[in-house]
């Protein structure tokens, strides 16, 4: 099994820091994995789940062994950390840097979405219209 693509989308706050989707062997996608922060600040990945009638969460999909879970978690956390590091790239300030030009489109989008300015501008624009 090879994870051929990981997509990270920021969450709006709380313990869930981001949502992830993975593509396995270029032919199977798993959506709604979550990057969650524990009380001690440690990050971990939770599998997609839904609420059952009793109100408990039940996994929709999950690895059947520890090694597969480890591979999935490491890859998602690696991509999450990369997306967070992209915040260090200046948003403006003259011409485009070579580092920014060499980024994949998905990395540029993730950096923009993780930027605090993106979320605060949206709120300001909405408030200006009302």
Report the chain's mean pLDDT, rounded to a whole number: 77
Question: Residue 66: which H helix or E strand, with range?
Answer: helix 66-85
Dihedral sign (CA 106, 61, 44, 75): negative
Question: What structural domains does the chain harbor?
Answer: 3-129 (3.30.1120.40)
- pLDDT tens by residue, 27-43: 999 999 999 988 888 99
The model's pTM is 0.64
> What's the confidence (pLDDT) of residue 95?
37
> What's the confidence (pLDDT) of residue 10?
87
- For the segment 47-73, the average pLDDT, to the nearest whole number, is 93
pLDDT of residue 81 exceeding 60? yes
């Amino acid at each position: 099994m090879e994870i051929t693509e990981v997509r990270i989308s920021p969450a709006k706050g709380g313990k869930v820091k981001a949502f992830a989707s993975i593509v396995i062997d270029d032919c199977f996608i798993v959506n709604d994995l979550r990057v969650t922060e524990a009380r001690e600040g440690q990050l971990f990945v939770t599998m997609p789940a839904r609420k059952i009638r009793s109100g408990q969460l039940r996994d929709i999909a999950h690895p059947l062994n520890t090694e597969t879970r480890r591979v999935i978690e490491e890859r998602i956390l690696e991509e999450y950390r990369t997306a967070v590091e992209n915040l260090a790239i200046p948003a403006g300030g003259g011409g485009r840097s070579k580092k920014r030009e060499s980024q994949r489109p998905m990395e540029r989008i993730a950096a923009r979405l993780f930027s605090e300015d993106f979320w605060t501008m949206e709120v300001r624009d909405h408030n200006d219209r009302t």
